[in-house]
Amino acid sequence: MADVLLVGTPGSLRTRGFLAAAERYGLAVVVHPWDAVLAGVPAPSARHAKIDAPTLTPEVQRALIAAGGGTPGPGDPGLRGARVAQRGFERLVARLEHELAPARLFNPASDIAVLGDKALTQARLAAHGVPTPAPVELAEADRPDVPVMVKLRWGSAAAGIVSIHRMNGRPEGFTTMTPEAGGWYSSRRVRRVAGPALRAPVAWLVEEGAHAEAWHAKDRIDGQPYDLRVLAIDGRPAHVVGRASTGPHPFTNLHLGGRRIPFEVVRAHLGPERTERVLDVSRRAAACFPACRVLGLDVMWTAEGPRVIEANAFGDLLNDVLWEGLNPWEAQLATLTSGRGGPR
């Protein structure tokens, strides 16, 4: 029996990083491809199991929509059918958990489902007293009195997001969404929008399923707004990296042109007391998901203190960030190697 079963995409950076870490620890890992999961092939047994997110090609998106009970059309679905695709993903993850029993999952299916839904995630965090952006009524999202973020409820990597603020008395904003062939698609080119070009993506998000929250002004380093990706492993903040927006928009995602800021730079900027408050709120957020071994947290410092923007089950793609000399995959596997010594 393998030490670990990894449900993932063969050849992806996530899979390669995990396999390299396992080799350093002498752990036997079997990769169960997402293509096999979608084809209904049962997962082999293992002592532990990690379910990674699939690489979202158009083919995989259509398969997830079908698994969710939808009827995918031809071509690239784009952002269409996100709700149904998420339902399909949750069904497949629950099936995997059943097949893999009694293996211990790095993150259980029930938590993966909650973490895939921004509204449910924020509700759980808020219920435990973790500071998050204040929710905003969707009916007021495109004419806000305060700056607002409107997000596709089941999205990731800034897919399906609109920021809205007032400029010269009228709403305007930025979005990663672009209309094409009668649908909406996620783009790496952030657009400034106003008027009908602003109302159209917001209306689509509200109809498809949206989560709206107050857009709190982030702290700045070198004049650029930034936030922090905190990777919590077994409830403990481990790998931390800053991400700053380099454009006029507020999005810090690296694939949208954001730049990384080493944690040492952020820590020196914040000082010991504020840094500890960021780490403390990260611990509290991780404690809301006690069964999760791996949790990615996006945390910002605001005028009111730290706030957790989002949490997700697949936030460990920080391959060149180290914590206690270990990359994210090595740190996750370290607790499985008791008695075997450190990495080779």
pLDDT tens track for 107-146: 999 999 999 999 999 999 999 999 999 989 887 666 667 7
Is position 335 within any domain?
A: no
Where residue 156 falls among pLDDT bands split at 50, 70, 90?
A: confident
Q: What is the CATH number of the domain that holds 304?
A: 3.30.470.20
Statement to judge: residues 200 and 148 lie in one domain: yes
Is position 240 within any domain?
A: yes
The C-alpha atoms of residue 128 and residue 238 are separated, in whole angstroms, by 21
pLDDT in tens, 12-69: 999 999 999 999 999 999 999 999 999 999 999 999 999 999 999 999 999 999 999 9
Statement to judge: residues 79 and 163 lie in one domain: no
What domain range includes position 199? 138-214
Burial of residue 341 (number of CB atoms within 10 Å: 0-12, 13-18, 19+): exposed
Structure token pair of residue 267: 């820590």
Statement to judge: residues 32 and 181 lie in one domain: no
Statement to judge: residues 175 and 244 lie in one domain: no
Q: What is the CATH number of the domain that holds 12?
A: 3.40.50
pLDDT at 337: 79
Is position 338 within any domain?
A: no
Look at residue 150 and tell me whether its pLDDT is greater than 50: yes
pLDDT at 259: 95
Where residue 85 falls among pLDDT bands split at 50, 70, 90?
A: very high
- On whether the CB atoms of residues 150 and 141 are closer than 8 A, the answer is yes
- SS3 assignment, position 67: helix
CB atoms < 10 A from the CB of 242, how many? 23
Write out the H or E segment, with its range, that includes residue 213. strand 210-214
Statement to judge: residues 196 and 109 lie in one domain: no
Where residue 211 falls among pLDDT bands split at 50, 70, 90?
A: very high
Structure token pair of residue 34: 């997402």
The C-alpha atoms of residue 208 and residue 66 are separated, in whole angstroms, by 17
Nearest 5°: the CA angle 105, 110, 111 is 75
**In the Cβ-directed half-sphere of 57, how many Cα atoms lie within 13 Å?**
7
Domain count, the chain: 3
Q: Which residues of 251-273 are buried (b: 16+ CB within 10 A; e: fewer)?
A: bbbeebebebbebeebbebbeee
Statement to judge: residues 193 and 271 lie in one domain: no
Is position 17 within any domain?
A: yes
Residue 131 DSSP label:
-
Q: If you average pLDDT over residues 276-292, what whole number do you get?
A: 98
Q: If you average pLDDT over residues 182-187, what whole number do you get?
A: 92
pLDDT at 340: 45
Domain limit, last residue, from 171, 186, 214: 214
Statement to judge: residues 126 and 234 lie in one domain: yes
User: What is the pLDDT of the chain when averaged over all its residues?
Assistant: 93
Task: Choose among 96, 116, 84: nearest CA to 32.
Answer: 96
Statement to judge: residues 174 and 226 lie in one domain: no
Distances (CA, A) of 102 to 51, 98, 105, 107, 323: 15, 8, 9, 14, 30
Q: Dihedral of CA 28/34/35/38: which sign? A: positive
Statement to judge: residues 279 and 299 lie in one domain: yes
Q: Which residues contact 62 (CB under 8 A, 6 or more apart)?
A: 72, 77
pLDDT in tens, 258-269: 999 999 999 999
Nearest 5°: the CA angle 151, 93, 255 is 40
Count helices and strands (H / E) in the chain.
9, 15
Statement to judge: residues 273 and 127 lie in one domain: yes
The C-alpha atoms of residue 149 and residue 134 are separated, in whole angstroms, by 10
Task: Choose among 90, 106, 102: nearest CA to 232.
Answer: 106
- On whether the CB atoms of residues 41 and 58 are closer than 8 A, the answer is no
- On whether the CB atoms of residues 198 and 173 are closer than 8 A, the answer is yes
Beta strands in 52-204 (DSSP E): 104-105, 148-152, 161-167, 170-180, 183-194
pLDDT at 142: 63
Is position 326 within any domain?
A: no
CB atoms < 10 A from the CB of 170, how many? 10
Structure token pair of residue 124: 């759980």
| Terminal Cα-to-Cα distance of the chain (whole angstroms) | 22
Domain limit, last residue, from 214, 232, 247: 214
Statement to judge: residues 106 and 253 lie in one domain: no
Look at residue 342 and tell me whether its pLDDT is greater than 60: no
Domain limit, last residue, from 214, 234, 266: 214
